[in-house]
Amino acid sequence: MDDMVSTAGLNQWIRAFAELVAENKDSLTDLDAAIGDGDHGANMHRGLQAAVAALDDTKPATASTLLNKVGMTVVSTVGGASGPLFGTMFLRMGAALGDTAEVSLTQLATALRAGLGGVVARGKAEPGDKTMYDALAPAVDALESAASTGVDKADALKLALAAAENGRDATTPMLARKGRASYLGERSVGHQDPGATTVALLMAAAIRAPL
């Protein structure tokens, strides 16, 4: 039973994500200022504060209603490219989970896989484009493989975080091929991608919550 994730746990996850983004708002903005337009931290912060407020208002009782509410709020309040990308990720996760009060680690991994699919459908990102995909895809792989081999929840989430952080770090030498950073060409090399950084915070939030 310990490996189940309750709706309350998912609620805590989103709140911890909002906290981590708030704590790292300025550094996210600095990363974005170097290769984008410098609003990633402020935009994500605004959207996640709104998502937390929406959770307070509506107190969703199932995994799908909770993640749908978060996704819709993020889409409606973040703007830029991050709103549709992170919003679509949460919406697809919600759609994958259905009306259940708790989900297994395997179901959570499946939901994140669906979220990743949403990010790809929306943003057309490919591996190595220097985007959030480069942190999210390895995290999903790690969580799936941990869930299928019976690793317990806490360790599985640690493996997912480590994979996301490795993926985030790997974006630094990449040449950006998507988004505003792509206009910089070679000048984008040597900078860590802000979207991938935020994905690593999402995985860190699962441990802080704890899920």
Partner 1 sequence: MKKLINDPQNVVAEALLGIEAAHPDLNVDHQHKIIYRADAPRRGKVGIISGGGSGHEPLHGGFVGLGMLDAACAGEVFTSPVPDQMLAATKLVDGGAGVLHVVKNYTGDVMNFEMAAELAAAESGAQVVSVVTDDDVAVQDSTWTAGRRGVGVTVLLEKIAGAAAEQGRSLEQVAEVARQVNANGRSMGLALTSCTVPAAGKPTFELGEDEMELGVGIHGEPGRQRVPMATAREIAEMLVEPVLADLPFTNGDKVIAFVNGLGGTPLLELYVMYNEVNRILTGHGVQVARSLVGSYITSLDMAGTSVTLLKVDDETLSLWDAPVKTPALRWGI
Summarize as ranges the residues that interact with partner 1 (CB under 8 A): 37-39, 42-43, 75-85, 87-88, 122-123, 175, 177-180, 182-185, 187
- For residue 156, give the H/E element and its range: helix 153-170
CA distance linking residue 126 with residue 178, whole number of Å:
9
Question: Residue 185 CB, nearest distance to partner 1 (Å)?
Answer: 7
102, 5 contact by CB (below 8 A): yes
Question: Residue 101 CB, nearest distance to partner 1 (Å)?
Answer: 28
Question: Residue 140 CB, nearest distance to partner 1 (Å)?
Answer: 21
Nearest residue (CB) to partner 1, 24 versus 88: 88
- For residue 7, give the H/E element and its range: helix 7-23
Q: Which two tokens stand for residue 28?
A: 């996210």
Question: Residue 206 CB, nearest distance to partner 1 (Å)?
Answer: 26
Nearest residue (CB) to partner 1, 119 versus 200: 119
Nearest residue (CB) to partner 1, 170 versus 175: 175
132, 196 contact by CB (below 8 A): yes
Nearest residue (CB) to partner 1, 180 versus 208: 180
The alpha-helical segments, DSSP class H, found in 36-150 are: 40-58, 63-77, 82-97, 105-123, 133-148
